[in-house]
Amino acid sequence: MAYEAVSVRKLLEERGYTIISVVEQKKGLAHLSIGKVNAKDRSIMYREVSTMLKAGVGITQAVDIAAETPNRKLKAVMREVYKSLENGFPLSVAMSGHPKTFPEVEIGVIRAGEATGNLSKVLDELSVTTARTAEFISRVRGAMIYPAFILVVMVIVGFVILTRVIPPIKDIFESTGSDLPISTQMLLAFTDFLINQWYYLIAIIVGLVVAVKLFTLTRAGKDTVSYLALNFPIFGGLTREVYLARFNRTLALLIGAGVPIIESVDIIADSTTNTIFTRSLKQLRTSLEQGAAISSTLQKSRYFPKLMTQLLLVGQQSGDLGGSASTLAEYFETEVDAKLRTFSSLVEPFIIVLLGGAVGFIVISVLQPIYNLTGQF
């Protein structure tokens, strides 16, 4: 979240600045800009700034140059970051005013780079990690697009058949006055509902969407969604490993940048959307403050496998926690890729069976009364 006056004063005093006054800057036009800043855009920007810093360009000028980007939203945000740098703010503070563009994790890494004097190196690592994470998430989403697309096409085709093809056949059946099989009656009743009472279906769908949305805004709703995400059949294991991969990748980045372990865990907890994982990480932070080993808390949760807790413990004891986290991130990313390939190989025959069942039901429902009718002659 953006820094308030008290937070800015405290942060700058910790960095040795003498504070005369802190005045809230008026909100610029960045929030009005059209477009979206994704991880790939940020990765390119970090790499450009890092390259210029290595070449001896000052941070203010580097940001000014990097602001010349095709992405209009990022360009507007970087203009405001540049103005903040001109006013004497550190890069991390300038970026923290745009939480919708720059995640707290990335700001924390940059803050650590400023404190250690290794900003160019940290930005390099941030660029690589951000790009790798974006590619990983893209693969996960890409694997879900195909089955979703097929299901949408099925719904559209089914709707056209039920509303355009079935009604004329219905008139023929009714003109014969013969008794219709149960399956045919169900098909015709559903067709009649779609044509004449479709607004009820729309109202039900909208009502369900609104109800679910409102429920997910409550704590109980967030907990329920988080639990289902981690435990739903087939998808639960995949979701868990996606979270574990991102946790370890982010932890490796923060530790590598020089962020203390307690602060690293706190930053990751605040950036995690799953409430179950967030609570586990908050408990981990408390345990670390009390001097406990990293594995002693994580192993109490069934969502953190023993392999992970033991490797992190070894890394903590050997002084290479970042290396252990990086190894685990690669392991879980590989596991996710393998599960996605398995999922893709299984979902296609499942969709074919589902589509065949729907088409078969319609065909049988239409042909059976015709067969019965011809059998009477």
316 within some domain: yes
Which residues have CB under 8 Å from 273's CB, separation 6+?
none
Residue 363 has a CB neighbour count (10 Å cut-off) of 10
The alpha carbon torsion through 42, 48, 53, 55 (nearest 10 deg) reads 170
Could you give the angle at the alpha carbon of 300 between the alpha carbons of 295 and 301, nearest 5°? 105
Give the pLDDT confidence score for residue 248 in this predicted structure: 94
pLDDT at 157: 87
Tens of pLDDT, residue by residue over 180-197, are 888 888 988 888 888 888
Total number of domains constituting the chain: 2
Contacts for 335 with CB less than 8 Å, ≥ 6 apart: 241, 245
Say which residue the tokens 């907990």 belong to: 223
Residues of the chain with pLDDT under 70: 1-35, 375-377
| Within a domain: 115 | no
Q: Are residues 207 and 254 in the same domain?
A: yes
Provide the pLDDT for residue 270. Answer: 86
**pLDDT value for 212:** 94
43 and 165 inside one domain: no
Calculate the alpha carbon distances from 155 to 148, 152, 240, 333, 347 in Å: 11, 5, 30, 33, 17
61 shares its domain with 136:
no
Do the domain assignments include residue 180?
Answer: yes
Distance of CA 9 to the CA centre of its chain: 33
The set of residues, in sequence order, having a beta carbon less than 8 Å from that of 345 and lying 6+ positions away, is none
pLDDT computed for residue 2 by the predictor: 42
Q: For position 197, which CATH number holds? A: 1.20.81.30
Give the domain range for residue 46.
28-102
**Same domain membership, residue 91 and residue 172:** no
Q: Rounded to two decimals, what is the model's pTM?
A: 0.74
